[in-house]
Amino acid sequence: MVKITCTCSEEGLLQVIHNYYRARHYDGYVNGKPVFHYHPLTREYVERELTKQNLTLEQLKSGQRPMRENVRSGLKGIGSSKENIEGLGSKDAIFIYPSL
């Protein structure tokens, strides 16, 4: 799932279910379980919002995931190499999207 600005102007997580698109918003917990509400989105709206993030629906549907970049060394696309990821904290790595 990808974060997207919903039609309600709040940030939500984009869910794509076949040809149905919706934004999922977290409301908190009720009886120890997470609660969400949803807003339907049009394909055109989703494509426009993803373009702002340099993404396409095809990338999301094909399952392409962002690559990791080590900020300290400037290495791009280090993947899952154990020696490259070992010792990285959340501030050391960012996600970048490859251009197709």
- 3 state DSSP class of 17: strand
Q: Are residues 6 and 54 in the same domain?
A: yes
Residues 58 and 71 occupy one common structural domain: no
Alpha-carbon distance of 88 to 77, in angstroms, equals 14
Collapsing DSSP states into helix, strand and coil, what is residue 43?
helix
Are residues 17 and 51 both part of a single domain?
yes
Reported for 19-28, long-range contacts at CB under 8 A and 24+ positions apart, including other chains, are 19/43, 21/45, 21/46
Same domain for 60 and 76, yes or no, is no
- Choose between 100 and 5: higher pLDDT: 5
Q: Which sign, positive or negative, has the C-alpha torsion 49, 55, 59, 64?
A: negative
Q: Which pLDDT value is given to residue 66?
A: 55
Structural domain span for residue 55: 1-64
Same domain, yes or no: 83 and 47: no
> Is 28 found in the same domain as 76?
no
Lowest mean pLDDT among 13-27, 44-58, 75-89: 75-89
Number of domains in the chain: 2
